[in-house]
């Protein structure tokens, strides 16, 4: 957990990508430029589980992935298990004094997919949702509870071969179709990664959301 020197005005809960760990997102959070707001960053490690796509090798994964197609990435049981883990972390932050509208769910790749899934099944307005190089899993059966005024930051790489740009775009369109209009959507000239321009844009977006909620 990383707190600013002054009392935190918001809390960002971070979920890493497949095979990574919490230090990955801690490195990203350290690069954010948030001079005017005090933000608590909380980093979660995914459970270790066999991943079919990687020959059954056990690694940190929020859910199993069977193949390269989007429909191969919908391990409902694993997603729901990880959803419970994330909600337990949210409950801890709520007990520590944050309200739902001061909580941000954020993640990269699989972690971003979990941020979208868990947020959309939350019956409150959140401070925001950050989905980097990600997509919405289980979209066909998703009946969202999340308050429509919740803002989103969605971004991805134009040359991403792991999370295809069309998947990110489809998730963006799904959100708009379901009444979510406050979406900052970006595509950058990169593959499956994070770029400096993205960090700059995310820093500006997160600062404005925190400041606007004060």
Query: Residues with catalytic annotation?
Result: 109, 160, 192
Q: Which residues contact 110 (CB under 8 A, 6 or more apart)?
A: 15, 16, 17, 18, 46, 61, 62, 63, 65, 134
Strand partners, 44: 15
Measured CA to CA, the distance from residue 130 to residue 9 in angstroms comes to: 17
Q: Which residues contact 119 (CB under 8 A, 6 or more apart)?
A: 105, 126, 129, 146, 150
Q: In this structure, what token pair is assigned to residue 16? A: 């890493």
Measured CA to CA, the distance from residue 1 to residue 41 in angstroms comes to: 6
Measured CA to CA, the distance from residue 192 to residue 46 in angstroms comes to: 19
Q: What angle do CA 26, 97, 37 make, to 5 degrees?
A: 50
């Amino acid at each position: 957990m990383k707190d600013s020197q002054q009392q935190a005005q918001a809390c960002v809960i971070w979920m890493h990508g497949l095979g990574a760990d919490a230090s990955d997102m801690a490195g990203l959070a350290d690069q954010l430029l948030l001079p005017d707001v005090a933000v608590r960053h909380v980093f979660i490690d995914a459970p270790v589980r066999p991943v079919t796509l990687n020959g059954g090798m056990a690694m940190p994964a929020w859910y199993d992935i069977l193949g390269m197609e989007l429909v191969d990435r919908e391990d409902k049981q694993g997603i729901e298990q990880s959803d419970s883990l994330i909600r337990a972390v949210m409950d801890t932050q709520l007990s520590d004094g944050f309200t739902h509208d001061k909580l941000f769910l954020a993640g990269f790749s699989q972690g971003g997919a979990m941020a979208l899934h868990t947020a959309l099944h939350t019956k409150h307005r959140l401070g925001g949702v950050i989905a980097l190089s990600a997509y919405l899993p289980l979209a066909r059966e998703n009946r969202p509870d999340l308050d429509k005024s919740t803002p989103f930051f969605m971004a991805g790489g134009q040359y991403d071969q792991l999370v295809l740009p069309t998947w990110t775009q489809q998730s963006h369109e799904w959100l708009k179709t379901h009444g979510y209009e406050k979406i900052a959507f970006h595509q950058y000239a990169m593959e499956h990664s994070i770029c400096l321009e993205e960090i700059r844009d995310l820093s500006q977006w997160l600062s404005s959301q925190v400041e606007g909620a004060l």
